[in-house]
Structure 1
Amino acid sequence: MSVRLIIDPIDFVQNAGIRHGRIPVIDLVRLHDLLFDKEGELIYQISGRLDKNAKPGLQLEVKGKIHLNCQRCLEKLVYEIDLKTFLLLAKNEVELQQVDEDDTIDAILATPELDVINLIEDEVILGLSISSRHADGECNSLKLKSATDNPAGKKQSANPFAVLATLKKTH
């Protein structure tokens, strides 16, 4: 397990802190149920800065590849993560609720001991699709099924209802 990075986010912003590193996917335990395997790593950078209204926030960038389960064929799906987000720091629950009313702003509560690895894991999970799957025609099981449906390599009719049309004419 990699070393946890704990920061005081307000202090981190005031000191214009920057941290970067690598996180093995195996360390992202809450993500495991969504994964095909636990291979790979994520590269991150987090920096503290003020937004255009001079409010403190964290700029987070995460890149890497993870292997998800394709929901169509249940095989490995290589998923590229390229996450860039700015998280406004709310000093208390009231401020967080006010910020949450604006859907264009992402905010988190500025707790004195913020675990950066958990924050990164949260953002990765939130960025995933509800139903991850290969692009159309890329699933292995669908390719195999179509090959077994037509083992002799016979040319299939362009219109599946053409057979029905011929039956209708003959009867």
Structure 2
Amino acid sequence: MHPYNGALMLNGPIPPHVDPRKLVEREVTLEGVLPLASMPRVCEQLTSSEGNVRAKFSFFRDEQKLSVMHVEVDAQVSMVCQRCLEPATFRVVGESDFAILWEGKSAEGLPKGYDALEVGEEPLDLPPLVEDELLLALPIVPAHDPEKCQHPAGFAAAPEPSENVEERPNPFSVLAQLKRDPNV
């Protein structure tokens, strides 16, 4: 939970351009949906561009008086399962904290967990940030639960990792024995 009190909550369409300075000062939270179809880089990874991304942007100052933007994304996406090669639906969630730095300010000394977001006089574009956050949250190897699908027929699958993996002898154990043997 973040230490801001969320003075102003705005529901509805996410505005494409905002002035982060004003939103931080007013501690605004923006929440809304964006269509997946409006995100070409995400759609390249999907089997369907149907659906929406729920996005939430919270602007506030943290305990150190840094201007912060907290971003959350939540979407249902359709991707090819890498086990059965059929389309599968995955819930994708992601969140990040950005320290808003005015142009020319150094990102050195930012608290751990903050990404730097440099802004200038131009308004800040929110939809590309939603797309970036969603791209980072997509599964690298999308796959159904193992009980729900099988490898396609004729597919030589790598053996699933077994819990009772047999221990291989350590190649250095011979050296350890030699070291202990006083006759060597």
Please confirm whether the aligned pair reaches a TM-score higher than 0.5, indicating the same fold: yes
Q: Percent identical across equivalent pairs?
A: 23
Q: Deviations over 1:33-52 (max 9, x none)?
A: 10011111111221210122
Deviates more, 1:2-11 or 1:19-28: 2-11
Unaligned runs of 5+ in 2: 1-12, 155-184
Q: Which has the higher helix share?
A: 1
State yes or no: 1:138 paired with 2:136. no
Deviates more, 1:110-119 or 1:48-57: 110-119
Distance 1:16 1:103 in 2: 22
Unaligned runs of 5+ in 1: 147-171
The count of residues paired between Structure 1 and Structure 2 equals 141
Cα RMSD (Å): 2.5
Cα distance, 1:134 vs structure 2: 2.2
State yes or no: 1:83 paired with 2:89. no
**Structure 1 residues 34 and 14: alpha-carbon distance in aligned structure 2, compared to 1, 3 A threshold:** same
Secondary structure, counterpart of 1:37 in structure 2 = coil
Cα distance, 1:116 vs structure 2: 0.7
The answer on whether the counterparts of 1:99 and 1:107 sit within 8 Å (CA) in structure 2 is: no
**Structure 1 residues 77 and 107: alpha-carbon distance in aligned structure 2, compared to 1, 3 A threshold:** farther
Deviates more, 1:127-136 or 1:30-39: 127-136
Q: 2:117 aligns with which of 92, 103, 108?
A: 108
Q: Which amino acid aligns with 1:139?
A: C
Q: How does 1:3-152 map to 2 (within 5 A)?
A: 5-96=16-107, 98=108, 104-111=113-120, 112-139=122-149, 142=151, 145=153
Q: Which amino acid aligns with 2:91?
A: E
Distance 1:82 1:126 in 2: 10
Q: Which amino acid aligns with 1:122?
A: D
TM-score w.r.t. the length of structure 1 is 0.70
